[in-house]
Each structure stands twice: as C-alpha cells, then as structure tokens.
Chains A and B, each alone.
Chain A
Amino acid sequence: MSQIEKKNQEFVKTNAAALDKDNNQEFGYWKSLKDISSEEDYNRFLKQSEHNIDNSLSRRNFLSLIAASVALAGLEGCKKPVQKIIPYVEAEIGTIPGIPKYYASTLPFKNNALGVVIENHDERPVKVEGNEKHPATMGKSNSFAQASTLEMYDPDRARGIKFKGNNIDWSEYLKFAKSLNETDGKGLAVLMQESSSPTIKSIKEDFKKNLPNANWVVYESINNENLYDGIEKAFSKKLQPLYRLENAQIIVSLGSDFLGVDDNNIYHTRKFAQNRDIVDENSTMNRLYVAESSISSTGSSADHRLNVAQHEMENLLAELAYELKVLGLPINANKVKGPNNLWIKAAAKDLMSNEGESILLGGSSLSKEFHQLIALINHQLNAPVDYYPLSLSQVSSINDFKSLCDDMKKGKIENLIILGANPVYDSPSDFDFAKSLSKVKNTVHLTNIVDETSKLCSWNIAMNHYFECWSDAMTYDGFVSVIQPQIMPLFDSRSPIQVLSPIVYSKEQSAYDTVKSVWKSKIIKKGNFDRAWDKVLHDGLFEKPLFNSVDVKPSSIASTKVLNDNFKLDNNKFEIIFNPSSSVYDGRYANNGWLQEIPKPVTSLTWDNAALISLKVAKKLNIKNGQMLEIAVGSKTIKIPAFITPGQNQKSISLELGYGRKFEGRIGNGVGFNVYPLRTSNNSCFVLNASIKVLNETYPLASTQDHHGLEEDKYAAPGFDDLAPKEAQSRIPELVKQSTLDYYQDNPDWVQKKVEQHKPDKKKSWADHSMYNPDWDYSKGPQWGMSIDLTSCTSCNACSIACQSENNIPVVGKEQVMKGREMHWIRIDNYFSGDPDNPEVSTQSVACVHCELAPCETVCPVAATTHSSDGVNQMTYNRCLGTRYCANNCPYKVRKFNFYNYTRDLPEVVQMAMNPDVSIRFRGVMEKCTYCYQRVSAARISAENENREIKDGDFQVACQQSCPADAIKFGDINDPNSEVSKAKRRNRDYALLAHLGTAPRTTYLAKIRNQNPMLVSNSYNGGSH
C-alpha cells in the first residue's frame, strides 16, 4: 500500500449523500478544496509534497499531504465529487472523534438489493446493518451482508490494473477501451453477473445502441432461470415472484431453501417469522411443510419435513397436484403412486383449506415445468405471491452464455469484457470455458481478487467493493436504492461503470455522474431532483417503486402432464445434488475467513465442503466421517470426503458448491473440494446415476459440534456406542424445551411447570437455592436482559457473524477449530432426535447468558470476571491471567479462550475491519459475550448527555439487530414496557439449566411446532425428566 493510500484511509469522507440523520442542513465547508480540484493542481500539489512521502512528516507537511490526498480522493478512485471530500483537519461541524456515523447504502446481491446502513468510525466503515427503511432487509441482515466488511479489507484483493501480469497505467486501458468504441461491436462481448442496477441497465442499453453487433451476456452459476422460465410458461411473461409469507398460514416447500441460502432470504425469514411470533396460547402461527433431500435451514425449521430425493421431487409435486385436484382445485392430474401419501394428503388438505393464505414454493434449480405447475397451483390457490416485471434487471441466461462460449470457441469473439464473474471456475463443465477463453484475443477481467479467470485474462482490473463506489440496485418489487461509497478505494480499484463507460461512450465517466444522471432521467422524474436525491442518499432508497406488481393470467391450465417423470436411478447409483454453500455461496466468499469459519447450519462443518451422505448409506458401504469418496458422473470424477448427515436422503449425496478454489486468496485457496466438474449445463441442480468408490484414505473435517444426538459414540467402551447420542437426545427436551401448538394450547403453563418440577422449595426461586449468595439488589436502574425465541430462530448464523464483526472475534483456522478452539461468542447447537433419515431438529443459539449468580465469577482468582451494577457479567481483559477456571465452571460452556495470540499476524488491512470500540484480546485471556457493552455504554452516555433515562429501543445489540427472524430481544428487564420484558413475561419463557440457580439474564422462549394432527409425532411436548 502506498503512503498516499495509507493516508487516505485516515481521511474523512463525507458526502452530501450522507446527511447526518438528525441534521439536514446545508454544509458550508466544501468550497475550501475547490482551489485544488483540477487534475493539474493535484499533480502540482502532489509533487510539492512528494519528497515528504518517504520521510518523516512535519505537521505542516502532513497537512499539505492530507490536502493533496484529499484532492486525489476526489479526482481518482470512485470519482466522488471532489467537493464532498474533507480532511479531518477541517472536520464537519459537530464531528466528534470516536462517535460513529451511519450512512445508508446497498449491498447488491445478484438481481436483488439489500439495503444496509454502514457504521463508520472516524470515516472507516466497520459494520454493516440492515436498513430499516429498505423493503428487502427491514433493518435486518444475513451472514453474507455481515461478512462483507471483512471482504472489503481483504489484503488479497486485486490491486491496480495489470496487463499480462505487469502493472500498467489506467490510461492504457482507456486507450484500449476507446478503440473498442470505434467498432460496431463485432467480436466484442460483455459477460457479467446478475444485476438489478438501473445504471448498469442503462449503460447496457447504450451499449446495444452504440455497438449493435456486440454481445452482452449475463451468467450466474446459481440462478433462478428455471423459475422465471416456468412462470413464463404459466403466465406467458417472465416475472419475478415475491412471496408474501406474512400472509401465508400454510407454506409447502418442495426443495426450496427460502430461509437459508435461496435469494431474498432476509425478506423471507423476516416475513416467515412474523407468523411465528407466539404471544400466548391464543396466538396462531403458520405451518411449514418441507420436502427436501438434504437437510437445510428451512428443513430444520419445518413443522413437517419429508425426506425425498431431488429427482423424485417432480413426482411429489404431481402427487400433490393430484391430491389438490381431489380436493377440488381445477388441475389436470393423474394419480402417481408414491410412498409419501400421508404427508402429501396433509399438505394438500392444509393448502386447500387455507386458500388465499397458503403457498407452494419450489427449489429454484428444479425444472421449468416444475415451476410452471407450482405457479399455476399457486395461482389457483390464490396464494400470496406478487409478480413483478423482470425487464429492468439482468438475469442469467444459460442459452446466451452457451452461444457466447460457442462463439468464443469458433474464434468469433476477439474482445471479451468479464465484469466480476469467475466463469473459469463456476461455469458448467461441459462448456469448457477456460478453453474457449484461450481463443479470445483480448480479455478484460474486472475482479475483486486474482482468481481462476483472471489468470487466463490479459487485462486484470481491480474491482471496487461496494463500500468504495457509486452504483445502485433494485429490489424485486421495484424499489431502487443507491450504493454510495463509504471510503476511498483502498487498492486502486475501478467500478464496472468506469470500465464500461469508455467502451460505450468513448470517454471515462465518473460513476457518481453516471448514477446521478440515470436517476435524474429514469427514476426521480418528478419534483425537485436535488432535494429528492439528497433524501435518497439519506434514506438509501427512493420511496416510490419503479413498477407495481402485475396481474397474471394463466396461459395454460395446471397439469401434471408438463412434468417429466423419466428420472431413473440405477441400482447402487446415487443422485448428486449441487447446493449453494451457506458459507461461500458459489465460491465468491471463499477468501472470507468469517464465512469460512462459521459452522454451517445443521452439520456444523467449517473450512470445508463434504459429500453429505445418509447414515444408512454409510453403514452399508462402511463409510466413516472424513473418508474420501471418488464420485464419478460419466467420465468426470472428483474426490471429496464423506460426512454423515442425519436427514440426508439415501439415494442422494449433497455437494456444496464454491470450494476447492485455486486463486490468490490466502484464506480460501485450496480449501475444500471443487465439485463444479460434475455440474453440467443440463444438470445444474442434480445429476443422476453417479457411482461412488470408497477410497482407503481419510481427510480431517473440522466440525464444531461432535454430538448432535444421532451420531455414534465411536470411542466409547465396546458395545456402548450409543452412550453420548442417547444422553444428548434425553437432554434435548430439557435444553430446547418444545411442544406442539396443540399441546401448548391445552397446557399453556407446561413450560413453567417443567421448570418448577424438581424445585425443592416451591416458594423460593431457583436462585435462592443456589450455592452462591445473591448479594446485590438488581431492582434499580436499567438491568439488561435478553430473550431468544426458539420458535422463530432458523439458525441462519447472521447473529454469529454480526457478533464476530461487532466484537472483533478472531478467525482461528481449521486446525484450531479441529482442536475445539473456535472463538465465536454465539454458537448454534443443533440436536437431532428420532429417525436418522428424517430427524426432529432442535436448534439453539447459545452465548453467555449473564447469570446473576455466575459460577464463573466466584472462581476467578484475580476477580477478572465480575458483575456490573446493571446485571452484566463482565470480563476485564487486562486483569485476566488465564487460569481458565471460569470456563470450566461455566455450565453453558460459552467462554472462549485465546490459546494463542490469534491476532498476531493479522494483516494491517484487516485491522481496519476491527471495531475501535472493542479491544483486541491478547493471548492467554478469556473472552465471551459482553451484551455488546460498548453499545450499552454509548447509549447510556448519549442518554446522560440528553439528561434523560435510557429508553427501550435506544440501541440494539449486534445479534439482535442482525436477526432476520427478530427472534432476539434485548433491553431493560426493569422496564415493564420494554420488548424484552414483554417477551420474558410470555409463558414460554425459561432459563437454560435453571435448576443450577444461576439466574441467567438471557432466557429462551420454548419452541412451538405447529404440527398437523394428521401427522403428529409424539416425541415433543416436554419430553422426559
């Protein structure tokens, strides 16, 4: 990093954009920089200060260098208007060092927009939160959004412009790009990922106009093309469906992981959870049926899960359609003989009897015929689905991509501009993109990291992170939001707009001007543009959608004839399912340590993908966890370790995409196993008739949880391999209290009864039975507490990464995870019980529960962990000497120890991702959840400054803020009107291991499953003990 870049980081970046939330005034400090805002001025200025760069700086020189760099900030980089940039020496009036500022922006994810608010500390973005005004996030976020901070400060990001491996000036590229503009576009192609940016769309239109013979191709390896095609078949229009789950009482998902890795998961989870917020026994809740072949977040949240192979999903739909026909829905369906009769019947009956409030969802990569039928059934059910035009976003098209590859192979393409995508790694293996690429003369790759594709391209241009550039994005329902830069580009990077504009317009356009002009002409058409624009920058989005939902009319009647039931699985062969990774998605987050280390939902695997196989298959073929398998599909083979997973279909093996990358990322290079070679254009969802060979080698897999309740206790005394699973299962009803809705309605106080059950003296509280003496009066002042609703939690991991980002939790690496030393303050426990093929899943997120009578506090020899007067169990890091006694004595095992100095070799750039409000812990020190005490303190200080009491909603803790299910409530438990008090007054409230008398401040709301009486299994309802 050059000195200038370093200095840049320290500078204030502000823009009119970021109107301070409470302060809508005009700013008067821009003018001072106009003096040096031209390029010549800047160069002159830079020369003057050049001699200072490598020498120690006097204060005076330092200031002039700042001024020069500030000008640089304005002229280069992301082309923010120069007058919007100020150095700290001329801070905005009212700027208080150390007080963070929040700017609205947007995380573009495929053809969706996730509105975010970014927390800036001294003008350094360190934390992402959802934007409450944004319809796709509603103030919430997911793990990808949370981890995008670390992506920004990835030291391995591409830097500058390279031509055939050599650094080259940007002007050289401009020359090249302008030369392309002079042609009619013949032999030119642009390949990009999905996008919903109106600006890019508008550039595309100009591109088509100015270069009529050029090609513009959109390809995304994980896409919804079949869904859109199915809807087109059903309604003769390509439309984007938006599932209004808040209006759905019955949700039937056939292979859709809508709460997990499927697109728009924040929106889905938020709306889904709204109908699971049970206040008391009179509340209603939705019911979720999930049919899937490998257990997902969605499946583990289901009230009724059906284990069905992916290739049988169409049969299942046909059967469901038949049942719906029987129940009176006008469907042309024949009876299909299937084994899943009861589940189908129950689901169909529920769908029908809740017409208008029931919905059917399908796995996005299943066939178009499948989606056609689903769309038609939904239409006939009057399901709460809104359809929006798709014409303004750019979605993946496999045919376009295929013809591009063909053209490339034939040598018809001379110039190929790849924007962000990594097709060499993730395109269908039958296209052999790498080979096609070698036939192209000039290849430009705009990339955030030097990856598989970059290595084969002649031009490599570093791409901006969304923290660094101007752009925009649009939600499915047409709300356009702006992406505004938070910081100067760290690594001399460019945005797609900068790369495209010289090709399209023969001149380089600043991203800011381009975005603004598109907004002026296409989005904010009425009224005072500047005023509206300022509001957009403040709010993050334009208040009016670009379009409304469209009415759909079926072009055909729902018929199971459209379905293909030709799938035949040979004996002893398997179907292979390709799933997006919940950690690295399609591979794009492979270099993100937070995401690599987060335990995946259900399997708790970190740092690897594996072939998920069912217990029965493992027993039959004598496969152990970590045993290498050779999976062959046709002529292609891959090797990958096996991981035995409950709920996995016996006929299928699930593979996660996105691993086994070979690129210049120190975190993700070579992590896991690349499964793309098995994935072809015709089989992007699953492939049949794969054969597996069990190899005689094992591979170490790092799972953070050994005991889920269904695994064998492999080291136990001979003959006792069910010791741990049996015990774990018997504890589930105690730890994750759960019942069916019916049982709860009949026994509203069952949770309380359970808690009281073994109490020796019913007149006393459990805390009074504690061996530790309650010696503090907690009845005064704010007393912090938390409530976690297990009914709505989907174990999506957003909280865990939000916590990691907020609290500077180190990434420790696979080896340390295998030793059991992962540092996440929030761990998500997954327990399975019942049938290993279709287990009942109980998940529970566990962090420090802040016991009022904390076992950790009494045992610390040096009083490093103590209680605050507001009821928080606190760690004094610099007093801790690391006896680890506190952690031993913690019944919840939530304390994490720095066995090594995990942050010692943290690159300087990554240090910028750290939250300055939270200390970095040295080795030998214990740490754990603090209830985000830095946020508590900040809120208390501002309340004190305003001479008032701190009130509910003044602040949120990081996990609570991120939780898309809104399952976490936090606040003052002494305030009877606070959200947390209300939650804790619910009769489902219980404390974990209450009988120990620790009086935890974090309590849980029991899990309620809304089971259909037709399908009820009896294992819930409090269980044993």
Chain B
Amino acid sequence: MSVKSKADIRAEKLLPGNQDFTSITNDIAGVPEQKKTPIQWWLLFGFALSLLAIFVGSVGFLIWEGTGIWGINNPVFWGWAIINFVWWVGIGHAGTLISAILHLFRQNWRNAINRFAETMTLFAVICALVFPGIHVGRIWVAYWFLPLPNQMGMWPNMRSPLIWDFFAVFTYFTVSLLFWYTGLIPDLATLRDRAKGLKKKVYGFFALGWRGGNRQWQHYELAYLVLAGISTPLVLSVHSVVSSDFATSVIPGWHTTIFPPYFVAGAIYSGFGMVMTLSIIARKVYNLGHIITVEHLDKMAQIMLLTGCMVGYAYSMEFFVAWYSGNPYESFAFVNRALGPYWWGYWAMIFCNVVVPQFFWFEKYRRHIPFLFITSILVNIGMWFERFVIVVITLHRDFMPGAWAMYNPTMFDVAIYLGTFGLFFTGFLLFLRFLPMVSIAEAKLVLPESNPHHGHDHE
C-alpha cells in the first residue's frame, strides 16, 4: 500500500471525508441556491433588521439633536463612537490578513475561511466608516475631510492624523472590496452556470464573462496575487495610521511609540476572534463542518495565541516605559488605568486579551468548539475594552486635575453601537443568502486532485 503523501494527509485534515470537486461545488453553491430560505436565516435577518432600525433611528436623532445625546464631555471628548470605530476597523483586519498574507505564504488552509473573512472585513469597515462621519459636531459638513477643490482654496490639514486615518481606511476599504470581488468571479460564474432565469442574468453580469479557461485562470491568478501584494502592506498600515490618532498627540497614555505595532497585533487578534465567531455559527447552521474544519479553527486559535501574547507584551511594555521614563504624568496615566475609577475596564481587557488566549497553548482547548466560541466572543469584548481604556481612561484624567471628570455613556452610545451590529449582520446575512460563503474554487485547491504532483511532494 502506498504511503499517503503529505498533501493527502493535509487534504484529509482540511477536507475530511470523501470529497471531490462535485461534492464541494454542490455543498457550497447549494446554500445560496436553496429554494426555500431556512427559517433560522429569517429569524436572524429579522433580528439584524431590528438592530439596523435602532441604528437608523438613533443616528437620525443624533443628527437632529447633536453629539450632546452621547455621554461625551469635557475632558472626554471622544467616547464610544471612536472606540467603536477603532474596534470595527480592527475586526476588519483579519480578513485581509487571511486573504492576502496567508495567500502569499501559500497557507491553503485559509481557503475555507477567506471568503468569510473578506466579507466580514468589508462590512466591518463599513461599520467603522460610519463613525468618523457621525461623530463630528456638524455632520452636514463632514465632506470637508475630502480634498475637494473649492473657491476658498481650503484644503484639509494634512498634518492631522484624522486625515491620514480617513485616507488609510478608505484605501483599505477600496482594496478590500476589489480583492473580495476578484476572488468571487469564478464562483459567480459557477453559480451562473447552475442557475436559471433572472438569477442567471444577474450572476452572469457580475461574473464578467468568466469561462474558466486557462488564460483566464492565468490572468486571474496574477491579478489576485497583485491585489494580495497591495493588500499586504495595508494590513500593517491601516491600524498603524489609526493608532497615530492617539500616538501623535501630547496626552500621556496616548503619546507612545509602541502604538502602531500593538494596534496591528490587536487588530488581527480581534479580527480572528470575529472570524472564529462567525464561522462557528455558519458551519453549524449550514452543516459545513466538513469544509470549515476543526483544523481551521485550531490554526486560527494559534494565531490568536500569538497576537494575544503580542498585545499582552505591549500592555506590560507600556507600564515599563511609563515607569522607566520617570515622567509622573505618564506613570499616573497607566496606574490610573489599572487602579482608577475604570479599573474594571482595564482588568476586563487583561483577562480577555491576555489570560484567555493562554488556554490555546493546549491543543485540547484549541479544538473544543464551545470553548472556542466563548473565547472568540471574549476576545472581542476584550478588544473593545482595550479601546475603552485607551480613549476614555486616558482622557478622563490627563494633565490638569482641575479638569478631570468622569465619563458616563448614555443609551444612545449603546444604541448606536448595537445598531452597527444590525448594519453588519444585515449585510452579512444577505451575503450568506446570495453568495457562496466559502470560495468554491479555492476550497478545491487542497484536494489531492488539485495537486499536480500526485504523491510526489515538493518537500
């Protein structure tokens, strides 16, 4: 009996059971092709829509009344809006990392989750982009962020990190959208080929005449590679730029050079958390356990362990530098995080981001799906608190004790945050309903049939 090749073993791990091209296509394309929408989908969609309604209502009220409906004050001029912005942008990071960087490193295990992750990125960045727009005092002039030619010759202030931020996130969104769409083209063609009537026309329109020919695949692969190349630096740059909103300021607790790498690590950490949450739900609801396997989840848990340790290192390094600098303002900013009025926020962050991922040293926990599910949610709670710590705890006590104050969020802070989940899930559920949630073409890559070396491994 021939010895199983490494590729076979890998394929077995990633796509267990006797799967072939047809079964994969049927399994994945079968979901958007369902004649009857599952009742669970409708329930979830209804829930998402009601959250979206909360979002629309509270944003409407915000525009009508002003930012006073939030809990922000002097000195905490930024509150949940900015926390949520950074949080959503962070979540978006995993998508690009999975699609682009892991693609470049030829980590084919990503193929089961990359579509998911990319879609999540898109909607997360949309949720994030809502906040710079609505958090300003005069929403109707928010377009002044754009460098539009005008009769006054007024340009945005290019020295302001908010402008860098604005450009960084928009670039990121644009590239992510292109990347996602490029990856979708072969799958759209598959759906087109299997559909009839109007559906065929719509899928056909977006499939851009894909025929699966050799030359098309050649061009496609190259385009995908180029986009992956463009996206890769963005993974690092976007959150670095977001972090400079804080790092370039003079406020103790913000003014730190560790922010860019630490923000990127945190972003990937939270992004993987969100991908994990979503994929565990999806593989359960759509019975895709054989495509999004425990192996995938294990790999994601390993990345979360890595990035979790990185943020943990950053937290301790911040404290070390605050102490080592001898700057009393800096020292107090950090002591106040851990022991001040919002100490619970800080320790919630430490627990979720530093303590919890330590379980991932053990394979048992990396493969325990309920544990993974709870952990993935804790990770995102922890990362939300990280931004809370940075934004609120830093601002509420800075240089002048005479200006120190407490910050209390209002129901509208909560409503708009919950509302963005409505925005996110509405979009995500529509995606699940109409598009293949796993890349059909790429999922097949790990099958032995895709391996031209047939038992003769490269390594």
Contact = CB atoms under 8 A, between A and B. Distances in A.
Interface of A: 705-709, 713-717, 720, 723-724, 727-728, 730-731, 735, 771, 816, 819-822, 827, 829-831, 844, 846, 855, 858-863, 879-885, 887-889, 891-893, 895-901, 922-926, 993, 996, 998, 1025
30 contacts: A706-B405, A707-B402, A715-B341, A716-B343, A717-B340, A723-B339, A723-B340, A724-B336, A727-B332, A727-B401, A771-B248, A771-B250, A827-B403, A829-B402, A831-B402, A858-B159, A859-B159, A859-B160, A859-B162, A860-B157, A861-B144, A861-B160, A861-B166, A879-B144, A881-B137, A881-B141, A884-B72, A888-B251, A893-B75, A897-B67
Contacts of B405: 706, 820
A923 B66 contact: yes
B243 to A, nearest CB: 14
B138 A887 contact: no
Given A731-B401, A771-B250, A881-B142, A901 B66 contact: yes
Contacts of A922: 138
Contact of B401 (A724, A816, A880, A998): A724
Given A706-B404, A1025-B328, A924 B138 contact: yes
Given A819-B71, A882-B136, A924 B66 contact: yes
Given A730-B328, A859-B161, A887-B74, 11 more contacts: A708-B401, A723-B335, A731-B401, A735-B401, A771-B250, A819-B73, A863-B157, A882-B137, A891-B400, A899-B66, A923-B68
A922 to B, nearest CB: 8
Given A713-B341, A861-B157, A820 B74 contact: yes
A861 B156 contact: yes
Contact of A897 (B77, B166, B395, B403): B77
Give the residue among A820, A860, A891 with the most B Cβ atoms within 10 A. Answer: A820
CB-CB nearest 8 A-B residue pairs: A882-B137, A924-B137, A829-B402, A899-B68, A715-B341, A820-B73, A728-B401, A893-B403
Contacts of A820: 73-76, 405-406
Q: SS class of chain A's interface: helix, strand, loop or mixed? A: loop
Give the residue among A708, A724, A859 with the most B Cβ atoms within 10 A. Answer: A859
Interface of B: 65-68, 71-78, 135-139, 141-142, 144-145, 154-157, 159-163, 166, 245, 248-251, 328, 332, 335-336, 338-343, 395, 397-406, 408
Nearest to A894: B403
Given A727-B332, A859-B161, A880-B138, A893 B66 contact: no
Nearest to B344: A717
A831 to B, nearest CB: 7
B344 to A, nearest CB: 8
A715 to B, nearest CB: 3
A891 B78 CA distance: 15
Contacts of B159: 858-859
Nearest to A902: B68
B402 A705 contact: yes
B77 A884 contact: yes
A781 to B, nearest CB: 24
A821 B70 CA distance: 12
Contacts of B245: 885
A835 to B, nearest CB: 19
Contacts of B250: 771, 855, 889, 891, 996, 998
Contacts of A830: 402
Nearest to A893: B403
Nearest to B152: A879
Given A897-B77, A925-B138, A860 B160 contact: yes
A727 B73 CA distance: 22
B373 to A, nearest CB: 31
A881 B251 contact: no
A717 B141 contact: no
Contacts of B67: 882, 897, 899, 924
Contacts of B135: 883
Contacts of B328: 730-731, 1025
Contacts of A846: 400, 402-403
Contacts of A889: 249-251
Nearest to A720: B339
A657 B339 CA distance: 40
A861 B73 CA distance: 20
Given A855-B249, A863-B157, A717 B77 contact: no
A723 B77 contact: no
Contacts of A844: 402
A873 B76 CA distance: 22
A95 B163 CA distance: 48
B74 A897 contact: yes
A900 B66 CA distance: 5
Give the residue among B137, B145, B248, B336 with the most A Cβ atoms within 10 A. Answer: B137
A881 B66 contact: no
Contacts of A893: 74-75, 398-400, 403
B404 A724 contact: yes
Contacts of B401: 707-709, 724, 727-728, 731, 735, 829, 831
Contacts of A705: 402-403
B109 to A, nearest CB: 41
Contacts of A860: 157, 160
Contacts of B73: 819-821, 899
Given A720-B339, A829-B400, A888-B77, A900 B406 contact: no
A717 B401 CA distance: 18
Nearest to B77: A884
A771 B342 CA distance: 30
A884 B395 CA distance: 12
Contacts of B78: 884-885, 888
Give the residue among B160, B162, B248, B397 with the most A Cβ atoms within 10 A. Answer: B160
